[in-house]
Amino acid sequence: MTVDTNLHNTPLADAHVALGAKMVGFGGWNMPLQYESILAEWEHNRKTASLFDCSHMGEFMIKGDAKESGLDRIVTQPITDMPLNSCRYGAMLNDNGGVIDDLIVYRKGPQDWMIVVNAANIEKNARHFRAHLNAGTYFEDASFKTAKLDLQGPQSRDVLKVLVPGIAKLSYYTFDQFQLSGIPCLISRTGYTGELGFEIYCPWEKCKEIWQTILTHATVKPTGLGVRDVLRVEMCYSLYGHELDETVSPLEAGLDKFIDGHKDFIGAKAVSARPVRRTIGYFTSTSRKSPRAGNRIFDAGNQEIGIVTSGTFSPALQAGIGIGFMDRHSKDAGIEIFFGDEKNKAAAIVAKRPFYKNGSLKS
């Protein structure tokens, strides 16, 4: 297996190949899809600790007062009240109220911010920030000099305790500066798998050293993006390009609690004026058959009521699970629906989120 020279490489591309990873293109990057079977990697993450290369994600550095810089108006969540060393999830919208991207804001100092964005949207997002930040505001796209490793799983804290003194103090959605093998790192605790987890931001050129150090721990295995998608669907987390895009309102996408209706942000008026005729819903197949993005959703009377945005087989439930946009009145838990096309349909039951309820995320 070799890497595609037409795609961006993380600092670990060669290391993934050396470890036998199956490489694929994702968001313009060469990324490891899997090292072992998806089921084996799922079980390892849910029971022990897995290490993901997420260096393809984007990091923007901004300095300035939240309001005076214009930053607060870009993000749908309020950020002026964020405590130092805390993180906050939100989104940024276009003038029509569509989702440009979802993101996480890190408050490093009173006027010092890091914004983490999705890999496929780095260039688009950077243009948006530069266009809407006020003149004189410091903005740096540090995506190609900041690497990111995610250590996820119920034993991830135990692993890091050995390597990072003081890591146990981090509570959910906080971060701090640490030393890992003598290398300065920003380490946060947010997570994307439903398990206890940490995100390690480090200098690009030091990433391989940290990767190798963590993998020397007997508990940890390298893990690919394939199972990461299964894990996030089990938690009903949205993914840009599936549940989110520039045509989708955050209210349709189920991001209501991340939209502050009392603050002024780009797209706020459009969001409030736009009728919400469909919203995101969740369902479990009555068999092992898995829905796929693009499958249509039907009600018991064979009327089309929506479309699948994400689907997979859930090892936790031993059944297919799906996320999709549905008519607002078709989302009540327990209702029977069908997914597929006119010729081939499979039965499912509308469910409440998340599918996976036994995670260690906040432990």
Residue with tokens 């692993």: 159
Contact 121, 137 (CB under 8 A): no
Domain annotation covers residue 219: yes
Same domain, 205 and 159: yes
The band of 87, judged by pLDDT with boundaries at 50, 70 and 90, is very high
Tell me how far apart the alpha carbons of residues 168 and 132 are, in angstroms, rounded to a whole number. Answer: 38
Query: Is there a single domain that holds both residue 94 and residue 224?
Result: no
Cβ pair 79, 86 in contact under 8 A = no
pLDDT of residue 357: 95
Residue 252 lies in a domain: no
pLDDT band at 6 (very low <50, low <70, confident <90, very high): confident
Distance CA 11, CA 8 (A): 10
Q: pLDDT by residue (tens digit) across 110-147?
A: 999 999 999 999 999 999 999 999 999 999 999 999 99
Question: 8-9 and 29-34 as β-strands: parallel, antiparallel, unpaired?
Answer: parallel
Tell me how many domains the chain contains: 3
**Digit-coded pLDDT (tens) for 191-238:** 999 999 999 999 999 999 999 999 999 999 999 999 999 999 999 999
Sheet containing 197-203: give its strands across. 175-180, 183-188, 197-203, 146-152, 49-53, 220-222
In a domain, residue 317? The reply is yes
CATH of the domain at 42: 3.30.1360.120
Q: Torsions phi, psi of 134, nearest 5?
A: -70, 155
203's enclosing H/E stretch is: strand 197-203
Structure tokens at 295: 């499958």
Query: Do 13 and 153 fall within a single domain?
Result: yes
Identify whether residues 187 and 329 lie together within a single domain. Answer: no
Together in a domain, 336 and 202: no
87 and 32 in one domain? no
Reply yes or no on whether the pLDDT at 161 is more than 90. yes
Sorted by sequence, the CB contacts under 8 Å of residue 359 that are 6+ apart come out as 46, 193, 194, 195, 235
Three-state secondary structure call for residue 16: helix
Do 28 and 106 share a domain, yes or no? no
**Residue 323 in contact with residue 316, Cβ under 8 Å?**
no
pLDDT at residue 329 is higher than 80: no
Chosen domain end from 183, 204, 234: 234
Cis peptide before 315 (omega within 30 of 0): no
- Which of the four pLDDT bands, split at 50, 70 and 90, describes residue 359? very high
Decide if 185 contacts 179 (C-beta within 8 A): yes
Q: What is the CATH number of the domain that holds 311?
A: 2.40.30.110
pLDDT for the residue 2 = 54
Residue 3 lies in a domain: no
Question: For the whole model, what pTM was predicted?
Answer: 0.96
Boundaries of domain holding 208: 8-56+144-234
The pLDDT-based confidence of 328 (bands split at 50, 70, 90) is confident
Asked which of 141, 162, 178 is the last residue of a domain, the reply is 141
Q: Same domain for 151 and 50? A: yes
Split at pLDDT 50, 70, 90, the class of 159 is: very high
Q: 169 with 287, same domain?
A: no
CATH number at residue 90: 3.30.70.1400
357 within some domain: no
Which residues are 284's β-sheet partners? 321, 349
The beta-strand segments (E) located in 42-158 are 49-53, 58-63, 87-93, 99-109, 112-117, 138-141, 146-152
Does position 165 have pLDDT exceeding 90, yes or no? yes
What is the widest separation between alpha-carbon atoms in the chain?
Answer: 63
Are 50 and 115 found together in one domain?
no
From 141, 159, 174, give the residue that closes a domain. 141
Residue 333: what pLDDT? 85
Tell me, yes or no, whether 47 lies in a domain.
Answer: yes
Give the per-residue pLDDT at 120: 95
Same domain, 155 and 229: yes
Mean pLDDT, the chain, whole residue set: 96
Q: What is the pLDDT of residue 108?
A: 98
Percent of the chain clearing pLDDT 70 (strictly above): 98
> Which pLDDT band holds residue 332 (cuts at 50, 70, 90)?
confident
Answer yes or no: is 126 within a domain. yes
Residues 46 and 189 in one domain: yes
State the pLDDT at residue 4.
64
